[in-house]
Amino acid sequence: MRRAFTLFSIVVHTIVIAAALVAQSLVVGALPTPHEPVLYNISDFVPVDIKLPTPPRRQPSAPSDTPAASPDAAPLVEPKGVAPETDREPVTRGAVSVVEGGVPFGGDAIGVNVAPPPPPPPPPVQGPLRLHSGITRPQKTVDVAPVYPAAARAARKEGVVILETVIDARGNVESVRVLRPVALLDDAAVAAVRQWRFTPALLNGEPVPVVMTVTVNFMLQD
């Protein structure tokens, strides 16, 4: 019973909805008038009258009896006191002048030659440098063998004397200092090294004095 009532209700609602749709599609009549757009009418604006200020009046200038002189016109009256021309124009105060051998300057010209600037001072003397990777090491050109001292030979003394030398930019041995002495052999080693000669040490292609360590080996031969 309940199921039959539900089916009947569905059929009735379907018929009513279909009838409403068919009735709306069959109705013939005028279309609705759309809303009128808002338009601004120029007559609705209130005109505003803006008055411009009155320009000031110019006073008429009084007529002049003397006519205006042209700057390009030639003088009508002969000048008086004209000085004769000289070989040198007079110097005016505040003008820029050039003095022979000098430079331009302001004010009165002074006829004094400007001395040239002094030469730059010589570069400072550079002290001896320790040998490093950027310096070309001096090479020995003159070798003098040490004289074996008789006392050391009699005492059968042998050893290696280590010396610190200062070689000047010409390759001469300037000074010698003993770093590791050996008894009875130091003086002979120093005397021999002072007579050595080297090629100059070079830094960036320029000869420089350097500090270099050298050794002198004393060995007895049977």
18-74: per-residue pLDDT in tens? 887 777 676 666 656 666 665 555 555 556 666 777 777 776 666 556 666 666 777
> Looking at residue 99, what is its pLDDT?
46
CB 107 within 8 A of CB 93: yes
How confident is the model at residue 96, as a pLDDT?
A: 46
Mean pLDDT, the chain, integer: 78
Confidence band of 197 (pLDDT split at 50, 70, 90) = very high
Domains of the chain: 129-218 (3.30.2420.10)
Instruction: Output the pTM of the full model.
Output: 0.45
| Count of helix runs (H) and strand runs (E) in the chain | 3, 11
The answer to whether 163 touches 215, Cβ cutoff 8 Å, is: yes
Looking at the predicted structure, is the pLDDT value of residue 111 above 60? no
pLDDT at position 9 is: 83
CB atoms inside a 10 Å sphere around CB 109: 17
List Cβ neighbours of 191 (8 Å cut-off, separation of 6 or more).
146, 147
DSSP state of 126: P
pLDDT band at 78 (very low <50, low <70, confident <90, very high): confident
**Strand 105-106 versus strand 96-97 pairing type:** antiparallel
Q: How many C-beta atoms lie closer than 10 Å to residue 97's C-beta?
A: 16
pLDDT at 93 over 80: no
How many beta carbons lie within 10 A of that of residue 8, not counting itself? 10
Cα–Cα distance measured from residue 205 to residue 124, given in angstroms and rounded to the nearest whole number:
18
Exposure on the CB side of residue 115, measured as CA atoms within 13 A:
3
Q: Which range, 64-78, 90-104, 195-209, is most confident? A: 195-209
| Residue whose tokens read 């379907």 | 14
Query: What's phi and psi for 113, nearest 5 deg?
Result: -70, 140
Gap between the Cα atoms of 26 and 28, Å rounded? 6
Among 62-71, 99-108, 117-126, top mean pLDDT goes to 117-126
Q: What is the DSSP letter of 43?
A: G
pLDDT band at 128 (very low <50, low <70, confident <90, very high): very high
Element (H or E) spanning 135, and its range? strand 135-136
User: 145-180: per-residue pLDDT in tens?
Assistant: 999 999 999 999 999 999 999 999 999 999 999 999
The answer to whether residue 138 scores a pLDDT higher than 70 is yes
**pLDDT score recorded for residue 16:** 82
- Count CB atoms within 10 A of the CB of residue 161: 23
Report which of residues 206 and 44 the model is more confident about.
206
